[in-house]
């Protein structure tokens, strides 16, 4: 196996507020391997986006505070200077955002913005940059690439804009693409096209993708490995098949159960009771305990460690530490 492109070790991103320092991401670790599609899943507010912004160095500090290690090619990005970060952004690690409607500058043409993105990192003459821009627009499946170069963002549909955003992110052939809920704002048919496009680019260019989403459907379609986050922590990590076939953590089980199944006629859709805790509100014990159907006293008192099981699956839950309760959860899944 090749060295991972990105290695996040014990990343802790907190924000200084009037109520003190509140951690949004609380000691997470994971790796992204070359050419791999990694999914990061979790409910809104569990720290997914903050994780991606921390990697890009786009968390404003202060009030933000980032600790731990983010290793890109053995270089710790947390310690990197702003100048070095600017070289890395776009060129080595690129990012696409949730909202394609507002991610393009309304006063410039598509061509203008693409050429600018190229010329930030490559000292190419304008003509060469323009050729490359047209080429990448074609590569992301946009028709009439030459004409599009002279058009303004408001003349494009949401799906087209997201393609342009992907083009802009991929134009310098980064090693890693961070996609922060790239399909959330799009309608379902366009969603599928965009996911296919990303999958295709992943295969063609060997760019690793870190897919941040709350949509398990997207994960199933796209990812090879999944990290499940809850309240700023990694609660489970495994490859995609294992997660869907044998989810271990009660939270993952709940997430999978709450995906509506068309084959079953149900009056009520399942949802995990309760809400994601406000960052900083839970201090001791398992973060998920208040919403967990299997909690016991130990869950409330002590924080479970992230344990690697025999199967290679990582899970943060007391149930698997004691070797019991597996059956209980198995039954819960069966019932769903």
The CB-of-103 to other proteins minimum distance in angstroms stands at: 5
Which of these segments, 31-39, 152-160, 235-243, 317-325, binds other proteins (CB under 8 A)?
Answer: 152-160
What H or E segment, with its residue span, contains residue 14?
Answer: strand 6-17
Q: Which of 99, 224, 239, 307 binds other proteins (CB under 8 A)?
A: 99
Tell me the number of residues near other proteins by CB under 8 A.
Answer: 49
**65 phi and psi angles, rounded to 5 deg:** -145, 120
Q: Which CB sits closer to other proteins, 149 or 329?
A: 149
3-state secondary structure (DSSP) of residue 238: strand
The CB-of-201 to other proteins minimum distance in angstroms stands at: 9
Binding flag, residue 72, other proteins (CB under 8 A): no
DSSP secondary-structure letter at 277? P
Binding flag, residue 151, other proteins (CB under 8 A): yes
Q: Which of 6, 29, 98, 14 is nearest to 59 (CA)?
A: 14
| Per-residue contact string for residues 161-200; x = within reach of other proteins by CB under 8 A | ----x--xx--------------------x-xx--xx-xx
Helices 188-205 and 158-170, axial angle in degrees (round to 10)? 20
The CB-of-269 to other proteins minimum distance in angstroms stands at: 27
Q: Which of 34, 36, 70 is nearest to 51 (CA)?
A: 70
Buried b (16+ CB within 10 A) or exposed e, 83-96: eeeeebbbbbbbbb
Q: Which of 203, 241, 278, 331 binds other proteins (CB under 8 A)?
A: 203
Which of these segments, 4-12, 66-74, 156-164, 322-330, binds other proteins (CB under 8 A)?
Answer: 156-164
The CB-of-143 to other proteins minimum distance in angstroms stands at: 4
Binding flag, residue 226, other proteins (CB under 8 A): no
Instruction: Give the separation between CA 208 and CA 319, rounded to whole angstroms.
Output: 33
């Amino acid at each position: 196996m090749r060295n991972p492109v990105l290695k996040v070790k014990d990343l802790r991103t907190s924000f200084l507020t009037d109520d003190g320092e509140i951690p949004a991401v609380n000691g997470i670790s994971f790796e992204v391997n070359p050419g791999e599609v990694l999914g990061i899943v979790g409910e809104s507010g569990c720290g997914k986006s903050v994780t991606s912004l921390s990697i890009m160095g786009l968390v404003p500090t202060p009030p933000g505070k980032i600790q731990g290690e983010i290793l890109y090619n053995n270089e710790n990005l947390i310690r990197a200077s702003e100048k070095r970060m600017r070289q890395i952004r776009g060129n080595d690690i690129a990012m696409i955002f949730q909202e394609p409607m507002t991610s393009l500058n309304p006063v410039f043409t598509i061509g203008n913005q693409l050429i600018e993105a190229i010329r930030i990192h490559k000292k190419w003459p304008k003509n060469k940059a323009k050729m490359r821009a047209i080429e990448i627009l074609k590569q992301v499946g946009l028709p009439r690439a030459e004409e599009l170069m002279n058009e303004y963002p408001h003349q494009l549909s949401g799906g087209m804009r997201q393609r342009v955003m992907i083009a802009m992110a991929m134009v310098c052939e980064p090693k890693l693409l961070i996609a922060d809920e790239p399909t959330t704002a799009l309608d379902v048919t366009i969603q599928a096209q965009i996911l296919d496009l990303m999958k295709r680019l992943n295969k063609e260019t060997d760019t690793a993708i870190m897919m941040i989403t709350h949509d398990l459907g997207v994960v199933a379609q796209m990812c090879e490995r999944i990290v499940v986050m809850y309240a700023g922590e990694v609660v489970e990590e495994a490859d995609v098949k294992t997660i869907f076939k044998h989810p271990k953590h009660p939270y993952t089980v709940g997430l999978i159960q709450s995906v509506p199944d068309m084959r079953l006629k149900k009056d009520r859709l399942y949802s995990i009771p309760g809400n994601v805790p406000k960052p900083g509100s839970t201090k001791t014990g398992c973060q998920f305990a208040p919403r967990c159907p299997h909690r016991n006293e130990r869950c409330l008192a002590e924080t479970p460690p992230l344990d690697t099981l025999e199967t290679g699956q990582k899970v943060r839950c007391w149930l698997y530490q004691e070797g019991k309760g597996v059956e209980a959860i198995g039954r819960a899944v069966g019932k769903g």
